[in-house]
């Protein structure tokens, strides 16, 4: 967002976690999310269920040399990931991979 008294943007270039919470229509996307998506030079994982930020920023990030993927399990037009493809074909590792995948997908209490 913009600094309240200066004509400059607030920015943090550290490794800290940032959480942004505000009511709908309070300009979170325009003031914080989109500027970060356009200026952050490294990899990002973004929760964008309506694809609003994707639509605005993915082309720019792709033209800057980033690989951009849109993953939404319930939509056919997005990228796909098959967790079973991570299971080794080598019999020595296959059972361990299956057990690991089962632990990740089916968490026990």
Instruction: Tell me if the pTM is above 0.75.
Output: no
What Cα–Cα distance (Å) separates residue 59 from each residue in 64, 80, 86? 9, 19, 29
| Alpha-carbon dihedral sign for residues 98, 99, 102, 103 | negative
Q: How confident is the model over 2-51, as pLDDT tens digits?
A: 556 666 666 667 777 778 888 988 888 888 889 889 988 888 888 888 89
Q: How many domains does the chain divide into?
A: 2
Q: Which residue has the higher pLDDT, 67 or 108?
A: 67
Residue 92 and residue 61 share a domain: no
The predicted pLDDT at position 19 comes to 80
Residue 32 and residue 12 share a domain: yes
Range of the domain at 89: 79-109
Residue 108 and residue 58 share a domain: no
Average pLDDT over residues 55-80: 91
Residue 9 and residue 51 share a domain: yes
Q: How confident is the model over 81-105, as pLDDT tens digits?
A: 888 999 999 999 999 999 999 998 8
Residue 48 and residue 5 share a domain: yes
């Amino acid at each position: 967002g913009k600094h309240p008294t200066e004509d400059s943007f607030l920015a943090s270039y550290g490794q800290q976690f940032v959480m942004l919470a505000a009511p709908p229509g309070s300009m979170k996307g325009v003031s914080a999310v989109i500027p970060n998506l356009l200026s952050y030079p490294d990899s990002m994982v973004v929760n964008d269920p309506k694809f609003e930020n994707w639509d605005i920023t993915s082309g720019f990030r792709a033209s800057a040399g980033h690989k951009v993927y849109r993953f939404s399990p319930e939509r056919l037009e997005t990228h796909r990931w098959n967790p079973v493809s991570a299971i080794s074909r080598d019999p020595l590792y296959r059972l361990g991979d299956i057990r690991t995948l089962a632990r990740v997908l089916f968490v026990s209490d």
